[in-house]
Amino acid sequence: MALATRPMNQPLPGRPGSHSSTPRELGPLARAIAEEPIADAVSPVVLTGIARIVEFVLIALSGAVVHAIWIYPISGFEPMYLVIELAVAAAAVIAFQIVDIYNVQAFRSHVYQLGRLGLAWSVVFLLALALTFFTKTEYSFSRGWTAGWYAVGLVVLFGWRIALGALVRHWADQGRLIRRVVIVGGGREGEALVRAIASEAHSDLRVCGVFDDRADDRSPSVVAGVPKLGTVDDLVEFTRRTRVDLILVSLPLTAEERVLQMARKLWVLPVDVRLAAHMNRLRFRPRAYSYIGNIPVLDIFDKPIADWNLVLKSVFDRVVAVLILLAISPVMLATALAIKLDSKGPVFFKQRRLGFNNEVIEVFKFRSLYHEHADPDAKRVVTKGDNRVTRVGRFIRKTSIDELPQLLNVLRGDLSLVGPRPHAIHAPLANKLWDDVVDGYFARHRVRPGITGWAQINGWRGELDSPEKLQQRVEHDLYYIENWSLLFDLYILLRTPFALLKTENAY
């Protein structure tokens, strides 16, 4: 039941009124919970992946250090030792995986992880010694190096794991390893789901509240000790204001229409959405379910870019942004000088835009309007022949040079190099806000916005003076989100300079 890729010519799902850019008023309890200070989440997938990489490096490095002290002064560099060091490091990481010490719970327990780590490390060395014996190569390697590597490696691994455990416990105390969950649907199904989560011995789930559109006896104000915080429209606003990692829908599959209504409202959020099947009488094959603890769920929506993909995209953005800034620094200096000589006012201009998950961000641009016509909220869209634009401004807007300072936003983490363009907060179209013109408009905010994007290289840049143009831009943005990859980003970046040559829609 995972969300399938939607063809670009398929109509967008409907958008309820609560998705407007005007914040929805929450109830007192929901507002209080949303205003609690919450630390950013640490991905367990990324954390365990980094632990594997660090331990591989530590093991190989330990062997190399012992080799440098014990072997190198007498025999010089022996390439075969390097091969063995890398092979044993890889085997050790596999062994640690087998004994199940690559998970957050193991990181937090010294006795559990250190005992299993010591056992696995010893078994790896015994197997390596057995292999050299049966291949009759035991005399090719120094026994002093072997014993020294075993001892040094064990001490280094124990020290690393103790430090890692302290860090993980600190993050746990901050709530950074907790998955904040909200439940959609109260009543009998919601109560059973809350109790199922509470029964998990080492669950990392923390239920923040229940949201339900029903206001009668089928949806009480407290569900198994968890308060009801509002309706599903309130949930959309709640998720805008605080960190929500998972939405569990407790409605039965038989309530097909209600499930579809929930999906239409929740798909615009950058959150994993799952349909709990713990009380479902229909039984699918086990592979049809994914599991949260012991709770079977059906996938409705996934957070578009998460875990290692998010790390890769962030690193890619910053590295490439630095390289581009170094390459174009003469162009930026010349532009700044031209702006200063052409008209009074600052060189740079900050404009408020809607970013990831509808957060308000300030993007940097070279000033292209006369200073007295500054419009930080872009309430009036720049059109062809607009007399607010300076002489230099016309050129830098045509060539998109005015957008180059946004590379600084990429380094700050406000923007990505590639993504949906961040639209102005109050930009109107035919006297309507853009989210009132195109259904599902805010679904484009499920990822961080970008300097360039799939819509821009396909000709949908510049002035948006018709609902059709806005519809096409949103369609292309959603296609990008649903088909994202690092190669897709690279392709769009390489196509961008050629797309900028077409300036008929840029004013």
Residue 472 in domain? yes
C-alpha to C-alpha distances, 483 to 304, 442, 459, 496, nearest whole angstrom: 9, 18, 19, 18
Q: Can you tell me the distance from the alpha carbon of 57 to that of 54, in angstroms, rounded to the nearest whole number? A: 5
Query: Residue 28: CA atoms inside 13 Å, Cβ hemisphere, count?
Result: 0
Average pLDDT over residues 389-409: 89
Residue 293 sits in the same domain as residue 332 = no
The number of angstroms, rounded, from the C-alpha of 400 to the middle of its chain's C-alpha atoms is: 28
Residue 217 sits in the same domain as residue 340 = no
Q: Can you tell me the distance from the alpha carbon of 151 to that of 157, in angstroms, rounded to the nearest whole number? A: 10
Number of domains in the chain: 3
Q: Can you tell me the distance from the alpha carbon of 220 to that of 195, in angstroms, rounded to the nearest whole number? A: 16
**Residue 323 buriedness (CB in 10 A; 0-12 / 13-18 / 19+):** exposed
Residue 69 in domain? yes
- Report the chain's terminal Cα–Cα distance, integer Å: 44
Q: What is the structure's pLDDT at 12?
A: 41
Residue 8 in domain? no
Residue 115 sits in the same domain as residue 218 = no
Q: Can you tell me the distance from the alpha carbon of 424 to that of 405, in angstroms, rounded to the nearest whole number? A: 17
Residue 52 in domain? yes
- Give me 317's structure tokens: 């953005």
Closest CA to 187 of 247, 279, 239, 251: 251
Residue 314 in domain? yes
Average pLDDT over residues 229-251: 90
Place of tokens 């012992």: 66
Q: Can you tell me the distance from the alpha carbon of 117 to that of 110, in angstroms, rounded to the nearest whole number? A: 10
Q: 31-45, 262-276, 450-464: which has the minimum mean pLDDT?
A: 450-464
Residue 144 sits in the same domain as residue 79 = yes
Closest CA to 150 of 167, 136, 129: 129
DSSP secondary structure code for residue 446 in this structure: G
Collapsing DSSP states into helix, strand and coil, what is residue 187?
Answer: helix
- Give me 445's structure tokens: 């905010």
Q: What is the structure's pLDDT at 322?
A: 96
Residue 101 in domain? yes
Closest CA to 270 of 357, 211, 205: 357
Full residue range of the structural domain in which residue 459 is found? 308-499
Q: Using an 8 Å Cβ cutoff, are 147 and 157 in contact?
A: no
Residue 11 in domain? no
**Residue 13 buriedness (CB in 10 A; 0-12 / 13-18 / 19+):** middle
Question: Quick count: other Cβ atoms within 10 Å of Cβ 126?
Answer: 11
Q: Can you tell me the distance from the alpha carbon of 485 to that of 39, in angstroms, rounded to the nearest whole number? A: 28
Average pLDDT over residues 289-304: 83
Q: Can you tell me the distance from the alpha carbon of 374 to that of 441, in angstroms, rounded to the nearest whole number? A: 26
Q: Which of 134, 154, 174 is the last residue of a domain?
A: 174
Q: What is the structure's pLDDT at 4?
A: 35
Q: What is the structure's pLDDT at 51?
A: 96
Query: Residue 491: CA atoms inside 13 Å, Cβ hemisphere, count?
Result: 9
Q: Which of 153, 174, 195 is the last residue of a domain?
A: 174
Model confidence at 116, pLDDT cuts 50, 70, 90, reads very high
Tell me the three-class secondary structure of 284-347, residue by residue: CCHHHCEEECCEEEEEEECCCCCHHHHHHHHHHHHHHHHHHHHHHHHHHHHHHHHHHHHCCCCC
Model confidence at 504, pLDDT cuts 50, 70, 90, reads low
DSSP secondary structure code for residue 6 in this structure: P
Residue 138 sits in the same domain as residue 50 = yes
Q: Can you tell me the distance from the alpha carbon of 152 to that of 498, in angstroms, rounded to the nearest whole number? A: 56
| Bigger pLDDT: 373 vs 485 | 485
Q: Which of 248, 275, 303 is the last residue of a domain?
A: 303
Residue 376 sits in the same domain as residue 230 = no
Residue 2 in domain? no
Instruction: Write the pLDDT tens digit of every residue in 157-205.
Output: 999 999 999 999 999 888 899 999 999 988 788 888 888 888 877 778 8
Residue 209 sits in the same domain as residue 259 = yes
Residue 210 sits in the same domain as residue 330 = no
Question: Quick count: other Cβ atoms within 10 Å of Cβ 168?
Answer: 22
Residue 141 sits in the same domain as residue 51 = yes
Residue 256 sits in the same domain as residue 370 = no
Residue 166 sits in the same domain as residue 107 = yes
- Give me 395's structure tokens: 């050129």
| Bigger pLDDT: 235 vs 9 | 235
Residue 23 sits in the same domain as residue 78 = no
Average pLDDT over residues 216-238: 85
The model carries a pTM of 0.81
- Give me 184's structure tokens: 């959609």
